[in-house]
Chains A and B, each alone.
Chain A
Amino acid sequence: MFFVLFSISVLVFLIFFATPGVDPAARIAGRNADQLTLQQVRASFELDKPIPMRYLSMMNHLFVSQDLTSYVNRGAKVLPQLTQAIPATLSLVFGAAIIWLLVGIFMGIAAASSKRKWMDPTISFLGIVGISLPVYWLGEVVNLITQSKLHNSVFRWVPPLGYVPLTQNPWQWFLHLIFPWLTLALLYAGIYIRVLRSEILTVMREDYIKTERAKGAGEKRILYKHATRMSLITIVSLFGLDFGALVGGSALLTEVVFGIQGVGKLTFSALQNFDLPLIMATVMYASFFVVLANAVVDILYAVLDPRVRRV
């Protein structure tokens, strides 16, 4: 776990400081800066020191003294910016996750088990559409519908884009987030429907299901007690990874489109400004979540799948 985090920090550092042909000083100083300015920038940002020293110094400021400051807004500390952005991202991802899990599990089971002939193709089609939608475009379409002409009639209750903290006004928090939730959830619902459906169909072919049938167990019991339970193990591991990545900043496109000041948007603006300390902080935070999610998934595996526990 530590190894992965360490490697990622080195990787990010190298991407921004050691990519052949990239001169961070020129990025910071702006276009057409003269040699003198460049030298001043190098000295002031410690860019004239060797790369390993700069890496150590940055890690020291980030983790030990926790007073890493931004390159762009000189003196502005990086960590408070990050901690301010986390609640917005968590709100967005939590709400969306509840929706996509409910929709995904319900429709995935329905597609795999329904006796009605039209059900499986219809749900599978919805799943394909879900995974093929560009989330940022869907967000713009939602904005077009809710914020434009219809805003004066049907969607009068939709507040303008942005984010209101839960602690400040729970109702407004909910209203601001309902469409971002639905937008983000649609893509993942598509993935989960497809995965759960094919998992259930695979498990249904296993020998022990045949044994259950031979023992006279009802189809309902087989579906829920055995097939769905086994399939949920895959869903849990998938969910852990997706959730970790989203909290870590992958919700960026949704945040940008809906004007939510979350971690993703913060990372994106940091990237555009080449604000390496901020990038470093957000990326370390993001990969920490991904690695943590991986670990939690491994533990949940043991809870859900008795075979792993026994080993």
Chain B
Amino acid sequence: MSINEPASVTLSESPGKIALRTLARDRRSWISLSILGVILLLALIAPFYASSIAHTDPFKSTLNATISVGGVTRQVLEPSTEGLGLGITPIGPTGRPGAYLLGADNQGRDVAARLLYGARNTLFIGASAALVTILLSLLIGLIAGYRRGFVDSVLSRLLDVIWAFPVYLLSISLSVVLLTSGLSLGFIHVGPGSIALPIFIIGIVYIPYVARPIRGQVLALREREFVRAAVGSGAKHSTIIFREILPNVLPSVLVFIPIMFALAMLTESALSFLSIGVQPPQASWGTIINDGLGLLYTRPVVALAPGLLIVLTAASLNLFGDAVRDGLDPKTRARGDS
């Protein structure tokens, strides 16, 4: 960070620029950003894919539909031939662009189109929840670390309580309660099926993980000479917080963004898998895995494809997170360790 740099600081580049350049030189950031870019693009073209390439409505059950594959007309939901011959087997991957590229789920819906729509929800919830976590944590960390004393002990205690509550238990509890009734806080009303609920829930449960380290940093910064100098020279609280303290906690906050994104995404998919996250008719990768469970042994692609996408996205985010961390940490740079 800039504080420890020698007096010739005016001649050298700003820490932010150095970090960006290190990041741009890092192979890991290019690999991960390209993968994320492709996935984002796929999510964006979802409506176009459904209407112009697959020609299906991925949210409507089509129980009696037929399609023609290579000149042969087949039912989308075929009666099972294996086992007892009961039930139905949806059509498998057709392997050609157009309808049912990856086959259908047990309601005859196009899996490929649903995956693209699911990507939208999964990515949106992951990113928004991560932002909620980080912004609230920053707020709590700054207030607790800066005000210290009573405010700090109340906030820290609150964080301790949430911390002792296993993340999945808390998020599942909140989901189960809020899913049936929605959330009404004063003038804010969120409907039971809204994707704002998982965003809110996941955003809340991870706050202690981010707020605690930020608070610690702010506490330490509060004792540093340059902050004391600002206090001594009679600067306003807002000036000290925004001009002196915030720029110094920003690097660690930036490191948290990709990691929390990945974590929030994995949590969302787990909640949706337990059918208490994203609610039908909406789809996310987690709900598609859940849809694919009953077909696991006959049409495994329905459950496998969204899982692979989750792994790919989360791994890219974590890889990017590593690159950002190393780029912002002057120590690893000095070691020549990429």
Contacts and interface: CB of A to CB of B under 8 A. Distances in A.
Interface stretch (A102-110, A125-133, A219-227, A230-238): A125-133
Given A4-B161, A134-B266, A268-B172, A143 B296 contact: yes
A134 B167 contact: no
Interface in B294-317: 296-297, 300, 303-304, 307, 310-311, 314-315, 317
A20 interface: yes
Contact of B311 (A134, A272, A287, A290): A134
A161 interface: no
Contact of B319 (A128, A141, A201): A128
A248 B296 contact: no
Given A250-B169, A271-B173, A286-B169, A144 B164 contact: no
Contacts of B178: 19, 22
A156 interface: no
Interface residues of A, number: 53
A97 to B, nearest CB: 16
A46 interface: no
A21 B181 contact: yes
Interface stretch (B220-228, B233-241, B267-275): B267-275
27 contacts: A15-B173, A19-B178, A20-B185, A21-B181, A22-B178, A129-B315, A131-B262, A132-B266, A134-B269, A134-B270, A134-B286, A134-B289, A134-B310, A136-B273, A137-B269, A137-B310, A147-B297, A205-B331, A248-B169, A250-B168, A252-B169, A256-B274, A283-B169, A286-B165, A286-B166, A290-B164, A291-B164
A267 interface: yes
Contacts of B311: 129, 132-134, 137
B315 A137 contact: no
A279 interface: yes
B174 interface: yes
Nearest to B269: A134
A249 interface: yes
Given A129-B311, A205-B331, A20 B183 contact: yes
Given A128-B319, A137-B303, A140-B293, A250 B174 contact: no
A290 B170 CA distance: 13
- Per CB-CB distance, the 5 closest pairs between chain A and chain B, nearest first, are A132-B314, A137-B307, A132-B315, A7-B161, A245-B166
Contacts of A16: 173, 177
B184 A21 contact: yes
A132 B293 contact: no
Contacts of A290: 164-166
Nearest to B275: A272
B208 to A, nearest CB: 11
Contacts of B335: 201, 205
A137 B302 CA distance: 12
A15 B168 contact: no
Contacts of B180: 22, 27
Contacts of A128: 315, 318-319, 322
A248 B173 CA distance: 14
A129 to B, nearest CB: 6
Nearest to B325: A198
Nearest to A256: B274
A12 interface: yes
A140 B181 CA distance: 31
A140 B289 contact: yes
B182 interface: yes
B254 interface: no
A16 B168 CA distance: 16
Nearest to A274: B176
Given A20-B184, A250-B166, A132 B161 contact: no
B337 interface: yes
Contacts of A291: 164
